[in-house]
Amino acid sequence: MSQAKISIQSPADQSADPLNLKLRDADTIAHCFHANGYAVVRNVFNPKEMEVLHSATERSKLRGLKVGRSFRQGNLGYWVDEDAHIGTNVIGMQWPSYQEPALESLRRDPRMLSLLEPLIGRNIRQIVNQLHWKTPGSSFAVSFHRDRINRRPAAEFRQLAKSYIQTATVIDPMTADNGALLVVPGSHLRDPQSEHPGNGNFVAGKVSRSYLENEGFCESDLQPLYAEPGDIALWHVDTIHGSDMNQGNQDRCLYINGYVDARACMRGHWAFIEGQSIPLPPIDVPVLVHRDDIFDHLDVEFTQTTLRPMD
């Protein structure tokens, strides 16, 4: 990835469109993030870079299909489901950066730091490193939720609302047909009104709107984040979001990276220390991220092939 330094400009444009931001406008991105609970930054990575990244995600998916079932090795994990419509289907994986250098480079690219620094500083750990695929014809979808429900154990994350940022690098075009991310603008400013059903984020079939309704929102409150390869979406840990099935004829892959201010959490791989990017250790060096049993299970282990619970 390019090592070009990004300048931060100010003051923020208070009237900026959170769906159409540029990387150079870091203060405006931060303003939109705090005001709306999300932002979409366009053309962060160029077409040549995206060709490399797309190839990396395709190789990852093919590895999962070749094995044909869900498995883990340390923090690396593949989620493989038997879909009623298309058969064996890779819906996602954790820590693909262990296997693909291009994905490892992107997660700690200086452009990522330029997005994160105004929000959570220069010393950053990474809690989430995932690929999510929506294959045409599959029943895979993502229920509406706040990411806070996934940050467990809760006691390990201090001042979560101020210290955690979720990002998604768009690998394939994200459209109305193929299950674009849907967010509820401003939902991060409203305290939860109901209990999350707690049955996992990944679901099969049409996504229920009941959680939206219980939180006081409706269909018209949803904002789709249509985006192109190289764009990055970022959202607050308390922003309600989800996505429907892919009903188009084009794959939809997102590269999800979640970061936390290192002063607020002892878990996670380092991404940046004083603004310097930190590479991953070898896969057999255990690092406490989300698996409490990481130090006891470093070999490959096969898991259930049902849709993945929240992680």
What Å distances lie between residue 163 and 13, 31, 148, 158, 256, CA to CA?
Answer: 23, 15, 12, 8, 17
How many Å apart are CA 14 and CA 25, to the nearest integer? 12
Q: How far apart, in whole angstroms, are the C-alpha atoms of residue 252 and residue 135?
A: 7
Q: Could you tell me which CATH number the domain at 21-302 has?
A: 2.60.120.620
pLDDT-based confidence at residue 1 (cuts at 50, 70, 90) = low
- Per-residue tokens: 123: 């010393």
In the chain, DSSP finds a helix count (H) and a strand count (E) of 6, 17
Number of Cβ atoms within 10 Å of the Cβ of 20? 12
- Find the mean pLDDT for residues 215-244: 98
Tell me the three state secondary structure of residue 260. Answer: strand
- Global pTM value: 0.93
Compute the distance between CA of residue 89 and CA of residue 1 in angstroms, rounded to an integer: 30
CB of 79 closer than 8 Å to CB of 92: yes
> Cβ neighbours of residue 162 under 8 Å, at least 6 residues apart?
120, 261, 264
Quick count: other Cβ atoms within 10 Å of Cβ 194?
Answer: 11
pLDDT of residue 303: 78
Dihedral over Cα of 124, 27, 221, 227: its sign: negative
**What is the identity of the amino acid at 94?**
Q
Q: What is the pLDDT of residues 106-148, one digit of tens each?
A: 999 999 999 999 999 999 999 999 999 999 999 999 999 999 9
How deeply is 183 buried, as exposed, middle or buried, from its count of CB atoms within 10 A (0-12, 13-18, 19+)?
A: buried
pLDDT tens figures, 249-302: 999 999 999 999 999 999 999 999 999 999 999 999 999 999 888 988 778 888
